Amino acid sequence: MCQCCAEKKDIYLPQLATVVKAEAMNVTERYLRLSMDDGQFDYTPGQFVEVSVAGIGEAPITITSSPTQKNGFELVIRKIGNVTNAVHNLREGAKIGIRGPLGDGMYPIEEAKGKNLVFICGGLGLVPQRSFINYVLDNRDDYGEVTILQGTKCYEQRLFVKEVAAWEERADVDLLETIDEPHNAWKGSVGVVTKLIPKIKTDLKGAVVLVCGPPVMYKFVLMSLEEYEVPHENIFLNLERKMKCGVGKCGHCQINNVYCCMDGPVFRYSDLATLPEAI
């Protein structure tokens, strides 16, 4: 190998990690706690990894744990494609390939300090948001009021049920939850997550609002936030795209001129508003 390449790392080469803990969260979602075999892994809430299953391929998955929790890192993976199906078959002790952490567009952990935070999560959107939520709760004094809105399609798909219940009990967190479809065991709100926005007690005008959910959700949430005059600079959206390389080369995740993998996956809405392909 020539000298210049010898000094550079192979940006496509996964490093091995071990599945320390694996458990089903429901029929489609699986929780994994991973530990890098070489021990090194520093990340910021909002960053993702390329999960690699040899023989199947790679899939980009946002980290759900907070870097404040030091024991490896956690992913929640929905069984929906080739790689994610293969991940569901991995047991504790199995080896898995990891590239990352990737993504320069992270949650605004510094900028949000001292401000009130509103997390709006739709379904699986709770998974990436949980990284920043727990980061904030672990550095509670650095941030203002915390409001979490969680909407889930059906009762059985609710995620991190115990953890969400613990957030709800905290006096310094305002948690509002809804499910789309009524269920006998559910006594709470029924309807889509935007229904909860009028119930937010925090003054939205000065708040930092963080949104993550399925593609269809963003427009409705943004329209609703517009009524409360939330400045676009204070709204952060966590987007999903098809990704292959994760490092700004392969072209799949392009949103007009920006790369979801490099410039995101967390974007400031004011930076996205001029990009017709964003939503």
Partner 1 sequence: MSVKKISKDDFAVFVDALIGKTSVIGVQAKGDRFDFAPLESAKDLRLDYDVTLQPPKKYLLPPTEVLMTFEIGGAYHSQYQDQPFVLLGVHPYDMVAINQMDELFQQDNYDTHYMKRRDNATIIACDVVKPSENVFASSMGTAVVRGGYDILLTDVGGAYVVESGTPKGEKLLAEMKGTVADEAALKSRDAVWSKNEKGLNRHELKCDAAYLPRLLEKAYDHPVWAERAKTCFACGSCNQVCPTCYCFNVQDDVNWDLQTGKRERAWDGCLLDGFTKVAGEHEFRNPRSDRFRHRLYRKAKYVPPKIGGQIACVGCGRCVAACLPDIANPVSVYNRLIDDLGIG
Point out which residues bind partner 1 (CB under 8 A). Answer: 1-2, 4-5, 8-14, 16, 52, 54-59, 80-82, 84, 94-95, 97, 215, 240-242, 244-245, 247-252, 254-257, 262, 276-277
Pick between residue 231 and residue 248 the one whose CB is nearest to partner 1. 248
Pick between residue 109 and residue 250 the one whose CB is nearest to partner 1. 250
Pick between residue 208 and residue 262 the one whose CB is nearest to partner 1. 262
As a whole number of Å, the CA-based R_g of the chain is 19
Strand order in the sheet with 189-190: 189-190, 173-179, 146-152, 117-122, 208-212, 235-238, 266-268
Least distance CB 10 / partner 1 (angstroms): 4
Residue 23 CB: number of other CB atoms within 10 A?
9
State how far Cα 180 lies from the chain centre: 21
Question: Tokens 């952990």 belong to which residue?
Answer: 109
CA 78, 83, 88, 94 torsion: positive or negative?
negative
Among 250, 242, 255, which Cα is nearest to 12's?
A: 250
Pick between residue 4 and residue 185 the one whose CB is nearest to partner 1. 4
Least distance CB 229 / partner 1 (angstroms): 28
Least distance CB 121 / partner 1 (angstroms): 18
Least distance CB 53 / partner 1 (angstroms): 8
Pick between residue 164 and residue 255 the one whose CB is nearest to partner 1. 255
Euclidean distance between CA atoms 4 and 101, whole angstroms? 24
Pick between residue 44 and residue 116 the one whose CB is nearest to partner 1. 44
Least distance CB 47 / partner 1 (angstroms): 15
Residue 53, phi-psi category: left (phi > 0), alpha (psi -120 to 50), beta (remainder): beta
Pick between residue 197 and residue 255 the one whose CB is nearest to partner 1. 255
Pick between residue 10 and residue 141 the one whose CB is nearest to partner 1. 10
Least distance CB 155 / partner 1 (angstroms): 21
Least distance CB 156 / partner 1 (angstroms): 18
Q: Are the beta carbons of 202 and 232 closer than 8 angstroms?
A: no
Q: Are the beta carbons of 40 and 33 closer than 8 angstroms?
A: no
Least distance CB 200 / partner 1 (angstroms): 29
Euclidean distance between CA atoms 124 and 107, whole angstroms? 17
Could you tell me the two tokens for 100?
Answer: 């990352």
Can you state the angle between helices 161-169 and 126-138, rounded to 10 degrees? Answer: 40
